[in-house]
């Protein structure tokens, strides 16, 4: 059984129940600009990518000239839902249990630095994580740069790292960085999509995530 000393979490759809808010914001911005509105499945598939990468996939009719206006409308729709967004039940105590086992904790997210800092402050988790990376600081998933940079910063070898995420982008990033991946099915991508990435395991809820992780971390 592997022993992980660094657990890296995706944010949206893994730690925070924000998938529906992101989908609604993409769809709402499309309506505002009179663009074709992607389905919920099309919009949720791009969650985890940098915002601009996501929009190129979900809204292919969006031109560069339209992008600033679209982003303004997207952020307006998203922030309207922001007060309602919560961590998944059980996530906060799980992070505490991991930290108590002297495990290093990190975040690798498609959010911007401004967006991540906002939710870290709102959830009181700013000091829980040893390091974080956002999509506007380095390459977007599934490029391995986020994980490579986190491993270098925290001085942890790949064999002691696991990436936890709800999308194939997270799990493919893990593969590309030479680390293990763990999929969660309660976020954006289907169990089938996650299993196709051949992670160590796929779990269906936070209690199952806790049950899988805790025996495999620390000394």
Report how far residue 174's alpha carbon sits from residue 163's, in angstroms, rounded to the nearest whole number: 6
Residue 204 a catalytic site member: no
Residue 205 a catalytic site member: no
Q: Which of 162, 163, 150 is nearest to 216 (CA)?
A: 162
Which residue in the block uniquely carries the two structure tokens 């992070």?
Answer: 95
Which residue in the block uniquely carries the two structure tokens 């598939």?
Answer: 45
Going along the chain from its start, the domains and CATH numbers come out as: 6-17+87-216 (3.40.50.1000), 19-84 (1.10.150)
Sequential pLDDT tens for the chain (219 residues): 669 999 999 999 999 988 888 888 899 999 999 999 999 888 888 887 777 788 888 899 989 899 999 989 988 998 887 767 799 999 999 999 999 999 999 999 999 999 899 999 989 999 999 999 999 999 999 999 999 999 999 999 999 999 999 999 999 999 999 999 999 999 889 999 999 999 999 999 999 999 999 999 985
DSSP state of 197: T
Name the catalytic one among 10, 17, 166, 170: 10
Read off the pTM: 0.87
CB 3 within 8 A of CB 162: no
| Sheet arrangement for strand 161-165 | 131-134, 104-109, 6-9, 161-165, 180-184, 201-203
């Amino acid at each position: 059984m592997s022993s992980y000393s660094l657990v890296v979490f995706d944010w949206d759809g893994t730690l925070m129940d924000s998938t529906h808010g992101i989908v609604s914001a993409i769809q709402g911005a499309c309506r505002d600009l009179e663009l074709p509105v992607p389905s919920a499945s099309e919009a949720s598939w791009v969650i985890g990518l940098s915002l601009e990468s996501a929009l190129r996939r979900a809204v292919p009719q969006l031109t560069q000239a339209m992008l600033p206006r679209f982003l303004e409308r997207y952020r307006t729709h998203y922030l309207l839902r922001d007060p309602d967004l919560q961590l998944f039940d059980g996530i906060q105590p799980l992070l505490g249990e991991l930290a108590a086992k002297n495990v290093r904790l990190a975040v690798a997210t498609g959010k911007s630095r401004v967006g991540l800092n906002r939710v870290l402050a709102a959830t009181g988790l700013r000091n829980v994580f040893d390091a974080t990376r956002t999509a506007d600081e380095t390459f977007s998933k599934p490029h391995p740069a986020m994980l490579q940079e986190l491993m270098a910063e925290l001085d942890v070898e790949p064999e002691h790292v696991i990436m936890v995420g709800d999308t194939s982008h997270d799990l493919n990033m893990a593969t590309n960085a030479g680390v293990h991946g763990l999929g969660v099915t309660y976020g954006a991508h289907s169990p089938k999509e996650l299993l196709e990435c051949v992670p160590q395991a796929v779990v269906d809820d936070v209690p199952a995530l806790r049950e899988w992780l805790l025996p495999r971390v620390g000394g």
